[in-house]
Amino acid sequence: GTAGEPVTGRTVTATITSIRIAPQVNSIQAAGEWVVVDTTLEATDSTALPHADLLVGPNTYAPSDRFFGRTLGAEVAPGIAQEGSWVFDVA
């Protein structure tokens, strides 16, 4: 999909609202660069637990667990949009 356009998967609809790149987030240094993906999520039919991976060329990055509690990862429900970020350490 394209940033700003909703994309629907099996259990959620996601819209990327912005992307930021920085060497440091909240005083936490990245091994490479932080890629912060701001997203709006909504479950499609029933409560869902969202997950995202970042694909950069042949590499796949999982969201960092260094920002637990401040990023997307909680359950989302139909009809209730959840806004938040996924933070990836891209080295």
Full-model pTM? 0.88
Q: Is residue 1 part of a domain?
A: no
* Domain contains 21: yes
Q: The tokens of 67 are what? A: 């920002």
In a domain, residue 2? The reply is no
At residue 28, the pLDDT reads 93
Reply yes or no on whether the pLDDT at 49 is more than 80.
yes
Q: What angle do CA 61, 70, 1 make, to 5 degrees?
A: 45
Count of domains observed in the chain: 1
pLDDT of residue 69: 67
Residue 90 token pair: 């891209």
Q: Which domain holds residue 51?
A: 7-90
**pLDDT confidence band for 58 (50 / 70 / 90):** very high
The arithmetic mean of pLDDT across residues 51-75, rounded, is: 88
> Mean pLDDT for the chain?
92
Judge whether 78 lies within some domain. yes
SS3 state of residue 35: strand
Confidence of residue 70 (pLDDT cuts 50, 70, 90): low
How many angstroms separate the Cα of 42 from the Cα of each of 32, 33, 35, 46, 82?
A: 30, 28, 22, 10, 6
The pLDDT of residue 74: 86
